[in-house]
Each structure stands twice: as C-alpha cells, then as structure tokens.
Amino acid sequence: MVVAKIDSGVIYPCLFAFCNQVFDSTVEKHGSKPALYQKRYTQGVDKKDVDWTVWTWREYREQVDLFGKALMTLDFQRFDIINIIGFNAPEWFIGKFLFCCSRLLPVI
C-alpha cells in the first residue's frame, strides 16, 4: 500500500501497486481478448452502418504506457493532480487507468 499525502494534510491510503498488478495479470491472461469497444458515429452516417472499434487487453496496456510516456515528457511527477474532462470513451479509461498505475491523482 502507498500512502498519499494531500495538501490539506489529510492522508489517504492508496492501492496503486495492487491496481497495476491486477492490470498486468489480466493482460498476461487475456492479452488478445477484447477489453474495450466503441462506435464512433459520424454525422450523416446511419448508426447501424458504423463498425465497432475494439481494443484488446494488450492494446489497452500499450495505450496506457504510451500516454504515460507522453505525460513524462511534460514533466508530470508522482502524485501530481490531473483533471480528466471528456466523453465516455476508451481514451478516458486509458487516462484513468494510467493515473492509477502511475500514482498520479485524477480529478474526475
């Protein structure tokens, strides 16, 4: 367990290591199986004609790692706070999971 101290002086226990272990275990066991689905609708295209975009567990993990590397280049540090604003989309879940695995604190 990791302990995160927030500016107000309140201390919150966090299960970052556990979260990361479960994610890695799931990727190892189910890497080629679907993890996320999404339909991206375009104006003027009938919804039934839009195909599903699918991310496997391995692709999901790769996206989490890529996003993490991008944040590192912007000099985000452990326990920095990041605000997530957006639609219910795979990218939101990728960001949320990255924050859990990297010990960043999301504001949702």
Please name each of the domains of the chain with its CATH number: 17-36+52-107 (3.40.50.980)
> In DSSP terms, which residues pair with 34 in a beta bridge?
56
pLDDT band at 1 (very low <50, low <70, confident <90, very high): very low
Quick check: 85 pLDDT over 90?
Answer: no
* Pair of tokens at residue 80: 């920095």
Q: Is the model's pTM score more than 0.75?
A: no
Model pLDDT, residue 28: 94
Better-predicted residue by pLDDT, 6 or 85: 85
pLDDT band at 71 (very low <50, low <70, confident <90, very high): confident
Q: What is the DSSP letter of 35?
A: E
Distance in angstroms (rounded) separating the CA atoms of residues 21 and 15: 10
Question: What's the average model confidence in pLDDT over 67-94?
Answer: 80
Question: What's the average model confidence in pLDDT over 49-53?
Answer: 90
Quick check: 90 pLDDT over 50?
Answer: yes
- The alpha-helical segments, DSSP class H, found in the chain are 16-30, 57-73, 90-102
Model pLDDT, residue 58: 95
